[in-house]
Structure 1
Amino acid sequence: MSNQDIDLDPNDSPELLSHSSLPQDVTALEVSMVEESTVTGVTFTPELWMQRRHWALDVLRKEGVRSVLDIGCGPGSLLETLVVPPTTIKEPPILPISASSNEEDYLNRTQELFIQRLGGLDVSPSVITSALKILTPPSQNANPSSSAIPRWEPLTTELWLGGIEKYNAKLEGYEAITLLEVVEHLDPDVLNRFGVVTFGTYRPKILLVTTPNFDFNAKFPRAEEHDFAKKGFVDPTGRTDRVFRHSDHKLEMTSKEFRDWAEAEAANWGYDVEVSGVGISSQPSYYPSDDPNQPGQPIYATQTAIFRMATGLPLRSPRSVRTVELPFMPGSRESSHSHKLAGKFLHTVSAPGDGRKHPVQEVIQIVRDCFTRWNVGEVSLDEIWGVHEVSGRCGGSKRHLVGSLGGFGDCPSTSGSSEFEIRQEHGRGLIVRWNEFKPVEDKRQEERWGQPIQQSAVPLTRSGGW
């Protein structure tokens, strides 16, 4: 059975998209006008697309979701990050015991996503080829990487070609749905179906939306100088006289309009919504404050909304969306399959070791060998974890490694030894010090630097670090 055929019901199989029919030479995607510094005179640090992606990833990590569907996935910029396996088995991050102002930042840097199911949907055939390569397991790619990151648990990925307005029973069950820079591209009749299909039928635990803030278009510096009205794109729907950032935009909402839309959708479908934004430019503009003694609020280039399921009971009914099996047509299900399946894959476990947590003293000895071979007294925890023999002996549990080396924060010691000491260092994370280290002068050390550590029983292999 091929990876593309996993979990497919032969009596209800969607059409498998012919890959030979897809465009092979994908043209570069059009960039929004406000992200062209030559037009706006402003820059974003990091770049605006990166801020949107970081925002989505931060929210998904905090929510601890196990499955994500990216609607309007495009060439797969978000999928490219989500498909990367976590560095450990699913376990809580190691946190300091004492609270500090940097604790939230530390948690954001150490918390990981443990995705088991990942999907993408896009209406454009021109981007499917790129997204398909991203979701294909490394073993099936033409040039798999020899230094692939270990995968500690399996991941199922799937990619579909089709519109958001069409219901697809195969897309139910995702905990999280993301739509980054999508709703502004939807025709009015498609946008009207947005809530029915996503909130009303798929019912994700959380749904993330980003969209341009029209207020920013007129506020950025040099807007008048560059005559944005001539460089932008007139509303193609004819509903407004607005000038948009992108030739394919059908809608760009002001801050108030977006908040009203988001709150109405949330109320209709039994969700709570948190509205904010990302993207303060290098020359920021501000909404005037109602209180003259208070500073104005920054005008974000991108608006964001986090929808979280609240009551679980929508006020509106999605009864017209799901298809049902009719008693007089027993073979009728979702026979038309408005979406075409481009591929469905299983990323199997590809981690070192035997999956067991080996005895503490065995882990300690492996770490001693690393320090001795590198001839250093302290290194970062991540560099030690980068040795496959270490992570393999820990069964993928970084908490087992930290406990074996004396413990830190909410991860207590399991060795009872003071041979190693772990501390947190700003900018470097957790640092491991070998208190019994004695440097050895060796002129050949530089030549051997980075070579595998050889043992009589099991050779060590390295995936990075020192």
Structure 2
Amino acid sequence: LPARGGAELVRKLFGPLGWSRVDAVAVPLDEQFPEWGDSRYVRLLLEGELRLADALRQLYVLLPVLDDAKHYWVSPDEVDKLLRAGEGWLADHPEQKLITSRYLARRWGLTRQAMERLELVRLAESDDLDVESIDNAVDETADTEERPVPLAEQRRTAILAALSGAGASRVLDLGCGQGQLVQALMKDVRFTEIVGVDVSMRALTIASRRLKLDRMGERQAARVTLQQGSLTYTDKRLKGYDAAVLSEVIEHLDLPRLPALEYAVFGSARPRTVLVTTPNVEYNVRWETLPAGHVRHGDHRFEWTRAEFRDWAGEVARRHGYTVEFVPVGPDDPEVGPPTQMAVFTMTAADETQKEAKAA
């Protein structure tokens, strides 16, 4: 079989999976000319007593991982396929990151989504809990009548309420990802212009599919725009909007890059209202299956306490002519606060007058 990474990688992948014997031998390019070296193929012999279905699921995932050349378009449903085939072994595999990345053709957005879900599975299984008890990395369209409302849905509800309260009709979703918030905004006719911005073209492609832009009517299509852009650079296309939303975005940036984002949003684009949501690290102790000292997702560069978030937001508001209020999202624990904290920035009257004068 083809094995990009050779016999050593084959042993790393199959060795932890319960086989009593894993023999992987590199196949030379030509046995008559050993100086030519090895080919990218190995001869693999597996021996052991495994349930047949388990062995087949391992092969279903690991053979294309070793081949490392997906021969078809990798869509988001591949994440579900990977998790189904990896049930019972992938969450604890020492090479989980490599397996996930290669299986999903190194599509970072899908890889991150799969690894977050695998981590939640691992943590939940360790305490025999439902994955949904940790956070919102589950199917958010599932029936919620008998379960708590997912945190992601509570965030969107809070954001929509704050936008409505601010009287916003033209809205920027900065760091829109796969378009969940844009989709929610499209359902409310009060929002007449919606712009989703993300640095990832793959995320924007997924968002476009989620929104069915290619099948949307002309009137609806005129309300929404998806565009690529980095939030740490000024962009004249983002000026003149009523509101901007940064939902679960800032924690994905390295701290030294936050001032650049601050200026691009508050100093250059200057919408009248800015909403920022971010995890409250103090609440992490309430996730019983989240190990102490761990952030909620592997890609988070930091998670702030309520005091740290308030200090940052207060300084941003002071420097750029905004006032700021704080809104809890999710259950507001009397000791550790809510799971998500939201800052609502509103441009001061003097700055808004100055902005309107410049526009005129």
Q: Are 1:67 and 2:105 matched, yes or no?
A: no
Helix, strand or coil for the counterpart of 1:243? coil
2:230 is matched with: 163
1:122 is matched with: 198
Sequence identity percentage: 33
Helix, strand or coil for the counterpart of 2:301? coil
Report if the CA contact (8 A) 1:195-1:269 is conserved.
no
- 1:347-385 per-residue CA deviation (whole Å, 9 max, x = no partner) reads xxxxxxxxxxxxxxxxxxxxxxxxxxxxxxxxxxxxxxx
Q: Are 1:228 and 2:291 matched, yes or no?
A: yes
- Aligned ranges 1:76-91 → 2 under 5 Å: 76-84=179-187, 86=189
Report if the CA contact (8 A) 2:233-2:261 is conserved.
no
Choose the corresponding residue for 1:203, options 270, 283, 288. Answer: 270
1:25 is matched with: 75
Distance 1:221 1:275 in 2: 23
Choose the corresponding residue for 1:256, options 307, 322, 331. Answer: 307
- Quote how far apart the aligned CAs of 1:260 are: 0.7
Report if the CA contact (8 A) 1:70-1:177 is conserved.
yes
2:157 is matched with: 54
Report if the CA contact (8 A) 2:323-2:346 is conserved.
yes
Residue identity opposite 1:72 in structure 2? G
- Quote how far apart the aligned CAs of 1:43 are: 6.2
Distance 1:51 1:158 in 2: 24
Distance 1:163 1:116 in 2: 24
Report if the CA contact (8 A) 1:121-1:161 is conserved.
yes
Higher relative contact order (CA 8 A, sep 6+): 1
Report if the CA contact (8 A) 2:239-2:269 is conserved.
yes
CA RMSD of aligned residues (A): 3.0
- Quote how far apart the aligned CAs of 1:154 are: 8.0
Structure 1 unaligned residues grouped into runs of 5+: 1-22, 87-113, 230-241, 288-297, 315-466
Residue identity opposite 1:130 in structure 2? I
Distance 1:249 1:302 in 2: 14
Distance 1:256 1:116, change over 3 A: same
Q: Are 1:286 and 2:324 matched, yes or no?
A: no
2:324 is matched with: 273
- 1:5-56 per-residue CA deviation (whole Å, 9 max, x = no partner) reads xxxxxxxxxxxxxxxxxx7623552548789766786467211000000000
Distance 1:270 1:154, change over 3 A: same
Alignment: residue pair count: 227
Residue identity opposite 2:296 in structure 1? R
Distance 1:125 1:154 in 2: 19
Q: TM-score, normalised by structure 2?
A: 0.56
- Aligned ranges 1:270-419 → 2 under 5 Å: 270-280=321-331, 285-287=333-335, 299-313=337-351
Helix, strand or coil for the counterpart of 1:159? strand
Report if the CA contact (8 A) 2:275-2:342 is conserved.
yes
Distance 2:167 2:182 in 1: 17
Distance 2:273 2:195 in 1: 15
Distance 1:278 1:131, change over 3 A: same
Distance 2:126 2:186 in 1: 35
Report if the CA contact (8 A) 2:324-2:346 is conserved.
yes
1:188 is matched with: 255
Structure 2 unaligned residues grouped into runs of 5+: 1-72, 80-109, 136-147, 353-360
- 1:306-339 per-residue CA deviation (whole Å, 9 max, x = no partner) reads 101114549xxxxxxxxxxxxxxxxxxxxxxxxx
Q: TM-score, normalised by structure 1?
A: 0.44
Distance 2:222 2:203 in 1: 22
Report if the CA contact (8 A) 1:208-1:307 is conserved.
yes
Helix, strand or coil for the counterpart of 2:223? strand
Helix, strand or coil for the counterpart of 1:244? coil
- 1:239-265 per-residue CA deviation (whole Å, 9 max, x = no partner) reads xxx531111101100011011111111
